[in-house]
Structure 1
Amino acid sequence: MTDPVGGLTPVSTRVMNLATFLAQSARRDPDGIALVMGDVRWTWGQWNARADALAHALQTRFRLQKGDRVMCQSQNCTEMMQAMFAVWRAGGVWVPANFRQTPEEVAYLTQASGASLMFCNAGFPDHAAACGVTTLAFGTAEFGPSVDVITAENMGQRPQVAAVDRDDPCWFFFTSGTTGRPKASVLTHGQMAFVVTNHLADLMPGLTGDDASLVVAPLSHGAGVHQLTQVARGVKTILLPTERFDVAQVWDLVRDWRVSTMFTVPTILKLLVEHPSTARADTSSLRYVIYAGAPMYRVDQQKALQTLGPVLVQYFGLGEVTGNITVLPAHLHQTEDSPQARIGTCGHARTGIEIQIQDDQGREVAPGETGEICCIGPAVFAGYYRNPEANAKSFRDGWFRTGDLGHMDDQGFVYITGRQSDMFISGGSNVYPREIEEKILTHPAISEVAVLGVPDPLWGEIGWAVCVANAPVAEEDLAAFLDGKLSRYKMPKRFLFWDALPKSAYGKITKKMIRAELEARGMIA
């Protein structure tokens, strides 16, 4: 590539291998506690030595070459963290699956990514069998050699750390597949180095080795990116001792380890805030409780602020940009609905990111007008792996198209209206479910809700609200409560009450799953 001003060709595009973050922290604080899970304690020096040993085995025993993809099927564990850095150090590409997926789903991810090697927790023999590739086990298993044994056999050996360029893949970040099959977003060493720097600047400024981070979400996706950021600053990582999510245990760990940072999603944060044990919890060490993955409803946000204090940080972004689109820092979260509060915003542009709200032709719309949220910047991924059709749909004139609808005010704060796929048209008018859901959730009896459009012979589509109630409430009660709060064309025509809303493996309420459940119940065709 030639520089249009000076006519210069870049001398080098080489960047730091991401595994160097672990080596640097081990060099600075070799005896400091780095990783905790139950009774297990790894120092930075031990973690780094284990990553070295495993990387050496990957290169020498399993002949891993630079660019080879390596699957991982496991719930959170120390060996998973070891394997991630070993794969990068050896030059491989990390391809984690959400551990709640079925063997058939993980087999598809293995095939779609072209992975030739797999790390698999001993508790998932069916997944190992379904994938049909060379498998290394976390724990003792019949389907492959144990990572602990491999590590012990290679302890003290040093791998050849792979030299990488800015655009060399390091992570295949699979989308959750809300439309069609999951797609592999290709994340690169250069992109991820920017993301780590950006997370530290925008989400968690001032982290040091005195901090501790508690993992309450699967390391396969956003939580794994968050923990990579912690490693870069020598922050100790605390894993839950089992895959069971126990809120009282979470608060015990926060107290015992003086946890200062957590990454979560709104549904988990809601569980944490509303659990009876929270009233007795010592949360004084918390500095940054970061939530992402979906917008947080205002009533839930207010309760979290009242319970935990001014520690909430929100970011908006997809896996394709590794969360790097907007940030709403702690000092911009406000409990009171004052005229100065920007209620409903997901924040302003992240450092180094530019955002536009665009119409269907790719033209920027005026402040306050609804359009598609698009962005450019170093956090944007390299594209979908072997999927030119998806790439063509996702990029326009260099802008990444998120598929999310929203608007921007004249000061650059972004407000998400919803997914393009969630919007429906009733009587010729666009209806955005999120606005309706916000209003419904102000009713004291409603704890969760999802509004979606269903076919109607007269209006084209009408809204149905699927609700979870924590106290008795009738359809007519909700309709009366909303009367005057919504335009008539936005008013749901039906209110359904379920015991729970279906959630994806990532803890998100997805309209696709709710629609499928309605079809299974014979309520819609």
Structure 2
Amino acid sequence: MSHTVVRGQPTAAQLYLDKILKEILLAKGIKDNFTERDKLTIAEIIFHCLKKNPKDVCMINGATGEKFTNEYILKRAVVLARTMIAKGLRGKTVMLMMRNHQRTVAMYWAVIFAGVVPFMMDPNTTVYEISSSLKLIEPHYVFCDLELHGSVTEANKLVLEVNTNVVIADEDQYLEEFTDGFTDDYLGFQVAESSPDGTVMLLPTSGSTGMPKAALMSNKGLVAQLVAPWSYHTRIPKPTELAMVLTTIQWMTFTLSAAGCAALQVPLLISPKKSSVEHALEMLEKYRPSWTFFGPAFGKVLIEAARPDQLSSLRTVVLLGAPATPDVIKSFQTKLPKQARLCDGYGTTETQGFIAMPDRDAPVDSNGPVFNFMHYKVINDDGVELGPGNSGEVYIKGECVIKGYYKNDESYKESFVDGWYKTGDWFHLDKTERLSYIERRKFSFKFMGSQVSPEEIEAVIGTVPGVQESIVCATDNGPAAVVAIDPKYTVHREHIHKAVDSTLSDHKRLRGGIAFVDAVPHTHTGKKHRGECKKLIQRLIETGECVF
């Protein structure tokens, strides 16, 4: 049995990972066995793989065309890691807020090598959102791009109780000041010791239960997920020529891609430019990547704009982040080359990555079988476990499942029971044990490929004078809100839009519309009745009372 496999047969990628683990143990003078393999960390694996192939191309900057070797990334990561260790940051939290470029990759591995716990922050967030994360994480340092320095500094001033240092991390002069006196000699460097169950990083997630949270990513979980994106490839290492990744560092897909590409000797194509269809097509045409992720919403716009020749280099396209509709899948199938493989994958931050991906024989509407490094069960409304041929909520258990949220035990208890993660997503499990998505039962949702927490938007709406209560739900056009107003006040839609637009990210804006009501629906226990609210909003859209 392969190291991470708990059921079924290992893949070629998992067997190759076993080989890497064995090499690391032999280099440490330790006899290879499952117990010792289980102690190895993601930092040891990545450091070993980069060091083993120093002249290989680690990444390409899609904006400039520059290529950077493993050795280049290692040197910059090691000098940063040595500095952080010397400053006493091991085991402490920092925040990374950077766009996709070579210094980001170096900083990414630096904090992991140093045993520092980074919170990966979306570089597109607002001052309000940054300040909220500063309060939660209380980082000792924030490493950010020069472009984002003003927003970070402004947010830092709003959180006086947190003593945070801000370092510009995409300019050599600032990094040289930070690392002054330390060497980039990676041959004499050892990564910091870390517990297999210890927290490696914090990733933001709205999960299924409300306000944004920070999920605890562990060594065992990341190692289990390390080669998951390549599970159906048979040529290992180098399963593909070039992987293009458009997601930024706060996404689980970035971690899986950066780590998996380093382990399997695949160059990574990323760009510091803001993600757009035009730039994605430019990179596809110029660099000819063979493998990539797309969110279905972004993918839909891209595929409509793309010419078949611009996509001709692709051999694998993974759709991930939201359900892919039949029309999106059909559009991709029409324009992708015949030899390309289109995969409608499924995963969550709470499982540190993938849960399922279609195998080569899966039907077009299937999300594929659950990965072999996790246990799963399908549960109906009555809590009864069902077998193949039935539909229900998917529960996941295994090393990949997170052990908690940072400073938020209450939210963890709401979505986890006896180590099982209740995904909140309903699937049909067919006779071959492949999943097909049906719907999301919990109230958080995704729009424009990003997670939307209704409670976060409701909190901002509540800051408008005169607003008594609101409920936010998903619509085809984006978040929509029903709002109850104190009769003594006059509140217009423009007041609410101004509050939301000036405070929250673009994907959280109320594009679905706003409807004013006498009272929002509640359950018999006094909680907001989101199910009834969703029906109410749909009726108000149809009658023209819920408008943008």
Bin of the TM-score, shorter chain as denominator length: 0.7 to 0.9
Aligned length: 430
Inter-partner Cα distance in structure 2 for 1:289 and 1:204: 16
Match of 2:79 in 1: 53
Match of 2:260 in 1: 229
Q: How does 1:299-318 map to 2 (within 5 A)?
A: 299-309=327-337, 310-318=340-348
Inter-partner Cα distance in structure 2 for 1:12 and 1:287: 33
Match of 1:116 in 2: 140
Q: Is the 8 A contact 1:209 1:235 kept in 2?
A: yes
Q: Is the 8 A contact 2:395 2:421 kept in 1?
A: yes
Q: Is the 8 A contact 1:37 1:78 kept in 2?
A: no
Q: How does 1:212-361 map to 2 (within 5 A)?
A: 212-225=242-255, 226-247=257-278, 249-275=279-305, 278-279=306-307, 281-309=309-337, 310-329=340-359, 331-332=360-361, 342=363, 344-361=365-382
SS at match of 2:436: strand
Match of 2:465 in 1: none
Q: CA deviation at 1:314?
A: 2.4
Q: Which moved more, 1:253-262 or 1:152-161?
A: 152-161
Inter-partner Cα distance in structure 2 for 1:517 and 1:47: 48
Is 1:185 matched with 2:215? yes
Inter-partner Cα distance in structure 2 for 1:138 and 1:295: 36
Inter-partner Cα distance in structure 2 for 1:156 and 1:464: 49
Is 1:96 matched with 2:127? no
Is 1:380 matched with 2:401? yes
Inter-partner Cα distance in structure 2 for 1:114 and 1:12: 33
- Cα deviation, 1:465-521, whole Å, max 9, x if unaligned, reads 7469xxxxxxxxxxxxxxxxxxxxxxxxxxxxxxxxx9x99997x8x9556755699
One-letter amino acid of the counterpart of residue 109, structure 2: F
Percent of aligned pairs with the same amino acid: 20
Q: Is the 8 A contact 2:367 2:435 kept in 1?
A: yes
Structure 1 pair 344–31 and aligned structure 2 pair: CA distance change class (3 A): closer
Structure 1 pair 321–161 and aligned structure 2 pair: CA distance change class (3 A): same
Q: CA deviation at 1:177?
A: 6.0
Inter-partner Cα distance in structure 2 for 1:299 and 1:364: 33
Inter-partner Cα distance in structure 1 for 2:248 and 2:516: 30
Structure 1 pair 519–369 and aligned structure 2 pair: CA distance change class (3 A): farther
SS at match of 2:238: coil
Q: CA deviation at 1:129?
A: 3.5
Match of 2:410 in 1: 389
Inter-partner Cα distance in structure 1 for 2:335 and 2:506: 22
Q: Is the 8 A contact 2:429 2:435 kept in 1?
A: yes
- Cα deviation, 1:351-401, whole Å, max 9, x if unaligned, reads 222322113453213545442211112221122222221121112233210
One-letter amino acid of the counterpart of residue 329, structure 2: Q
Structure 1 pair 300–76 and aligned structure 2 pair: CA distance change class (3 A): same
Is 1:168 matched with 2:198? yes
Match of 1:79 in 2: 103
Q: TM-score, normalised by structure 2?
A: 0.69
Structure 1 pair 410–505 and aligned structure 2 pair: CA distance change class (3 A): farther
Inter-partner Cα distance in structure 1 for 2:206 and 2:506: 11
One-letter amino acid of the counterpart of residue 439, structure 2: G
Q: CA deviation at 1:241?
A: 5.0
Is 1:199 matched with 2:229? yes
Match of 2:165 in 1: 134
Q: CA deviation at 1:13?
A: 5.6
- Cα deviation, 1:215-269, whole Å, max 9, x if unaligned, reads 222232133122221111121112225225243x433433443311112211121
Q: Is the 8 A contact 1:90 1:160 kept in 2?
A: no
Q: Where does structure 2 lack aligned partners over 5 or more consecutive residues?
A: 1-34, 157-162, 447-453, 455-472, 479-500, 518-536
Q: CA deviation at 1:464?
A: 10
Inter-partner Cα distance in structure 2 for 1:300 and 1:49: 42
One-letter amino acid of the counterpart of residue 198, structure 1: A
Q: CA deviation at 1:16?
A: 2.6
Is 1:414 matched with 2:414? no
SS at match of 2:314: coil
Q: CA deviation at 1:12?
A: 9.0
Of structures 1 and 2, the one with the larger relative CO (CA 8 A, separation 6+) is 2
Structure 1 pair 507–360 and aligned structure 2 pair: CA distance change class (3 A): farther
Inter-partner Cα distance in structure 2 for 1:519 and 1:167: 49
Q: How does 1:23-42 map to 2 (within 5 A)?
A: 23-30=48-55, 32=57, 34-39=59-64, 40-42=66-68
Inter-partner Cα distance in structure 1 for 2:427 and 2:293: 24
One-letter amino acid of the counterpart of residue 262, structure 2: V
Match of 1:481 in 2: none
- Cα deviation, 1:428-480, whole Å, max 9, x if unaligned, reads xxxxx99xxxxxxxxxxxxxxxxx9xxxxxxxxxx997469xxxxxxxxxxxx
SS at match of 2:280: helix
SS at match of 2:317: strand
Structure 1 pair 204–134 and aligned structure 2 pair: CA distance change class (3 A): farther
One-letter amino acid of the counterpart of residue 63, structure 1: G
Q: CA deviation at 1:304?
A: 0.3
One-letter amino acid of the counterpart of residue 281, structure 2: W
Q: Is the 8 A contact 1:203 1:327 kept in 2?
A: no
Q: TM-score, normalised by structure 1?
A: 0.72
SS at match of 2:432: coil
Q: CA deviation at 1:313?
A: 1.9
- Cα deviation, 1:10-63, whole Å, max 9, x if unaligned, reads 789622342641442342242545343433332111111110011111122x32
Q: Is the 8 A contact 2:514 2:546 kept in 1?
A: no
SS at match of 1:98: coil
Inter-partner Cα distance in structure 1 for 2:221 and 2:474: 41
Inter-partner Cα distance in structure 2 for 1:162 and 1:118: 20
Q: CA deviation at 1:84?
A: 0.9
Q: CA deviation at 1:133?
A: 0.8
One-letter amino acid of the counterpart of residue 400, structure 2: A
Q: Is the 8 A contact 1:251 1:281 kept in 2?
A: no
Inter-partner Cα distance in structure 1 for 2:103 and 2:47: 14
Q: Is the 8 A contact 2:277 2:301 kept in 1?
A: no
SS at match of 1:15: coil
Inter-partner Cα distance in structure 2 for 1:506 and 1:289: 27
Q: Is the 8 A contact 2:345 2:358 kept in 1?
A: yes
Q: CA deviation at 1:95?
A: 0.9
Q: CA deviation at 1:107?
A: 2.0
